[in-house]
Chains A and B, each alone.
Chain A
Amino acid sequence: MGSAVLDRYVGVWFLTPALVLLLFILVGPFAFMVWTGFTDLSFALPNRDGNFVGFDNFRRLMRDPLFWDSFLLTVRFMVVAVAIELVLGFAIALLLFHQLERRRLVLTLLMVPMMLAPVAIGLIWKLLLQGDFGMMTYYLRKVGLLGDQQVLLSNPDLVMPAIVAIDVWQWTPFVVLVMLAGLMSLPREPFEAAVMDGARPAQILRDVTLPLLRPIIALVVLLRGIDAFKEFDKVFILTGGGPGTATELLSIYTYRMNFKDWDLGYGAACAFMVYFVVLILCAIFYKAVFWQEGRSRAKGRAGA
């Protein structure tokens, strides 16, 4: 009898371990981070052992030009990288959709960059972009895209475009994969109707394919956007934020505040800002996904 009662509440005790674990590993640290943001905790400066200072850290944050430079750099990185990945990925997905024998093989090979450890990607490109013997440096100079004395990773004007290019190299395959899955899931009737009406391929792309793909495009943009905003590993290995602060993205800046300057109170305020932006993007993502699910459910009912 006891076990029957237990079984009725199976939902509760199936869910509890996951919640307890997340409480311990995420909610706890998150709360601690918020609290630290209101203190002057520092491991480097004297007499700063976690006294409550109210909104001091956040006020300092608002006036800190380095923070805002880093914030804008991160937003620019996110927008430019995701935009290029989206256009390039969509084009390749379209190509693969209308091609191809051996599509599976092509996809498998194409997936390699996105599955590698980001640290390893940083390493690979650091090797390729070395000034005196880097393979990529050699060929870029050969075709005239790079001056003889220029080294991509130590040139303040070229380093950020280089990092965007590496991100594009890594993540375009992801966009291809999702877009292709999206293209294959589209209904056929609208396309057949458009062909019957004598629409040209460009018209079909603009008036049929793109509108139908809108939910998928929104999904890719948000997922990639959130990831790009958090970017750390590759840049940490490639440049460590340098030269100067040319590639100091928000997460690298936060890292420096916490683990170089050991200014933990201020570092927590920075971390909070990163978290805050990601949370907003997350909420938009969630709404977009559920809007899509709700729509398809409604469609299914209408069909039945």
Chain B
Amino acid sequence: MKEGWRIAAFAVVIAVLVMALAPYIWIVLTSFKTRLDALADTPVWLFTPTLDHYPEVFIGKGYLPLVWNSAIVAVSTTLLSLAVGAPAAYVFARHRFAGQEDLFFFFLTTRMAPPIAIVVPMFLLFTEIGITDHLIAVIIAHTSFTLSLVVWMMRGFFADIPREVDEAAQMDGLSRAGTFLRVLVPMAAPGLAASAILCFILSWNEFLYAFILVAFEGRTLTVGIPGLITPHGTLWGQVAAVAVVATLPIIAFTVLVQRHLVRGLTFGAVKG
């Protein structure tokens, strides 16, 4: 009886995994299919692969710079968010001051702010300043939600370090800023790495800000995706190739950051 339940449970888990993964596996397969196989009436699971779509879309259609743009935006957003966010997180973890909770709530709302509400005035303001169509516009926009991610996540990691560590460092003659830079930051390095990876993922995956703020030169990979879908004769092999390149680095990163994912995505409310 017990054994029967175990097998049943295992079967359900397998079924859930198939449901979760089959759509993604399908798009990976499609990126290696000839046009004929991709458009077959009956789904084709076994086929002779072709590598044509990747060079066609990335070289032929000039999508390679989009990958580069996405990488620049994601890396810059991450660095900016960490540089500005980690010190702020330290203050929230170690200091007590009037209005602290309100300020913290403000940081929460910035992460939750609906992009569609912010992007329009941001577009008008950036047009005024003249930075639309530059990557800097997207980097700034993305920092609006990654910054609070860093603050929320790193506050938890700094708070996990016992205060005695600070006190010992200051006994040894370090200033508070020195304690933060030379002692706390190295100790919180795993947390910083996790925050960095999550920032990278959020920025890399983001669509609406990048879509509205840049039109030509600075397009990121996600922004390039809709352009590939045409009312008739969409080249699905190429679309799939772009989707695969846009998602593979994220899947690799997810494996790295898995342990801290729950904490990052629930604003530190669940430690995971």
Q: Which among A21, A96, A178 is the interface contact of B262 at CB below 8 angstroms?
A: A178
Contacts A282-B108, A289-B269 given; does A17 touch B84 at CB 8 Å: yes
- Which of A54-62, A63-71, A253-261 interfaces with chain B? A253-261
For A215, the closest partner residue in chain B by CB is B269
- Which of A75-83, A98-106, A144-152, A186-194 interfaces with chain B? A98-106
A133, B120: Cβ atoms closer than 8 Å: no
Residue-wise, chain B 13-34 has the 8 Å CB interface mask toward A (1 for contact) of 1001101110110110010000
Closest approach, in angstroms, between the C-beta of A11 and any C-beta of chain B? 4
B43, A219: Cβ atoms closer than 8 Å: no
Count contacts between A and B, CB distance < 8 Å: 262
Contacts A115-B250, A178-B266 given; does A14 touch B87 at CB 8 Å: yes
A100, B13: Cβ atoms closer than 8 Å: yes
A292 contacts chain B at the CB level, 8 A cutoff: yes
Residues of A within 8 A of B41 (CB): 132-133, 138
Residue-wise, chain A 26-43 has the 8 Å CB interface mask toward B (1 for contact) of 101110110010000000
- Distance of A219 Cα from B19 Cα, bound (Å): 26
A47 contacts chain B at the CB level, 8 A cutoff: no
B271 contacts chain A at the CB level, 8 A cutoff: yes
Residues of A within 8 A of B161 (CB): none
Residue-wise, chain B 85-120 has the 8 Å CB interface mask toward A (1 for contact) of 101101100110100010001111110111111101
- Distance of A178 Cα from B140 Cα, bound (Å): 30
A111, B258: Cβ atoms closer than 8 Å: yes
B207, A18: Cβ atoms closer than 8 Å: no
Residue-wise, chain A 115-149 has the 8 Å CB interface mask toward B (1 for contact) of 11111100111111000110110110000000000
The number of chain B residues with a CB under 8 A from chain A is 91
Closest approach, in angstroms, between the C-beta of B108 and any C-beta of chain A? 6
- Distance of A134 Cα from B246 Cα, bound (Å): 21
Contacts A119-B222, A268-B121 given; does A112 touch B269 at CB 8 Å: no
A113 contacts chain B at the CB level, 8 A cutoff: yes
- Distance of A279 Cα from B118 Cα, bound (Å): 13
- Distance of A22 Cα from B118 Cα, bound (Å): 12
Secondary structure at the B interface, as helix, strand, loop or mixed, is helix
A108, B23: Cβ atoms closer than 8 Å: no
A interface, size bucket:
35 or more
Q: Which among B12, B38, B42, B226 is the interface contact of A138 at CB below 8 angstroms?
A: B42
B118, A30: Cβ atoms closer than 8 Å: yes
Residues of B within 8 A of A264 (CB): 120, 124
- Distance of A289 Cα from B107 Cα, bound (Å): 14
A237, B226: Cβ atoms closer than 8 Å: yes
A247 contacts chain B at the CB level, 8 A cutoff: no
9 contacts between A and B (CB under 8 A): A4-B175, A18-B84, A25-B143, A29-B121, A36-B120, A113-B20, A117-B204, A274-B114, A283-B105
Name B's A-contacting residues (CB within 8 A). Answer: 6, 9-10, 12-13, 16-17, 19-21, 23-24, 26-27, 30, 38-43, 84-85, 87-88, 90-91, 94-95, 97, 101, 105-110, 112-118, 120-122, 124-125, 140-141, 143-144, 147-148, 151, 175-177, 180, 201, 204-208, 212, 222, 225-226, 229, 236, 239-240, 243, 246-247, 250-251, 254-255, 258, 261-262, 265-267, 269-272
Apart from A11-B94, A286-B108: 12 A-B pairs, beta carbons within 8 A: A10-B180, A14-B180, A25-B143, A25-B144, A28-B121, A36-B121, A108-B255, A117-B205, A120-B225, A125-B23, A127-B236, A177-B272
